[in-house]
Structure 1
Amino acid sequence: MIQRFIELGEGYGDIFEICELARTNADRLEQAFIMYANHNDKQVASLAISLKPVGDSKFMPIYLCREGIPYNAEKPSQRLAIFEEALAQLNVVPNRFEIKHSSIFSENNLYYQYLIGILRLNHYIPPMH
């Protein structure tokens, strides 16, 4: 199974896009994620969804809005609320966990390998076969 991140942006349009991807692919929606990271003493959130492979394909896309959403537990961002509302309409509970910020990795590929490892280790996505 090949899992690959497909990075969207971090603005409102990108949040609406990831929500629409979840809705239009509701039958393929595998998991949803809200991942938190600390950066310069502030918490930021990344939002992601993973989709089941199509047909006999061994490709699992993971759409990601990376680290552009300020996170405050007491006053959630409107972008986060939009994502959570879309998931609630689909009866999907997002997996929430803390991760390292991508800025500590020398390149994005290493960061994505780190995330794949976390997702596999926690059985959120299947192992590579």
Structure 2
Amino acid sequence: MIQRFIELGEGYGDIYELRELITSNQQRFMHGFVFVSTNSQGQDVLSIAAAFKPASEGNFMPIYLCREGIPLDSKRLDIFEQTVSELGHTPIKMEVKHSSVYADRKFYHSHLISVLRLNHYIPPMQ
């Protein structure tokens, strides 16, 4: 199974796109994630993500991500948490390293996928 992050943006207007993806694909929605990290200025920032089951055909599992553009106390976080809660889920909060720690964004994504697999939030590699 191919598991891949798809970045929508940094969580400004794209939070509404993520909300729409979740509500229009309710039957495929698996988990909502809130990743907390600290940027180089020492500020805590949030990334939000939604993992979906693979489509009926194909072997691709998308994880949509709004990366590191949301402050801790934000209405955008409330929108995400409310959307996930309406589907009977609780957003999973995790502390992770900031993406700037990694030489390339694909390494950051690989690290997050590994963490999600190890915690059994997404299926293991097949």
Code of the aligned partner of 2:112: L
Q: Percent identity, aligned pairs only? A: 51
- Structure 2 partner of 1:79: 76
Matches within 5 A, 1:1-129: 1-39=1-39, 40-71=41-72, 76-129=73-126
Code of the aligned partner of 2:104: E
**Displacement of 1:57 after TM fit?**
1.8
Q: Secondary structure at the match of 2:13?
A: helix
**Displacement of 1:11 after TM fit?**
4.1
State the aligned residue count: 125
Code of the aligned partner of 1:69: I
Q: Deviations over 1:41-88 (max 9, x none)?
A: 1100000001101114211000000000011xxxx2011011111112
**Displacement of 1:116 after TM fit?**
0.6
Whole-Å Cα distance in 2 between the matches of residues 124 and 107 of structure 1? 24
Which runs of no fewer than 5 residues in structure 2 stay unpaired? Answer: none
TM-score (normalised: structure 2):
0.95
Which of 61-70 and 87-96 deviates more? 87-96
Q: Secondary structure at the match of 1:5?
A: strand
Whole-Å Cα distance in 2 between the matches of residues 23 and 52 of structure 1? 14
Code of the aligned partner of 1:20: E
**Displacement of 1:10 after TM fit?**
2.2
Asked whether the 8 Å contact 2:45–2:71 carries over to 1, the reply is yes
The list of structure 1 runs, each at least 4 consecutive aligned residues, that deviate by more than 6 angstroms after superposition, is: none
Which runs of no fewer than 5 residues in structure 1 stay unpaired? Answer: none
Code of the aligned partner of 1:26: Q
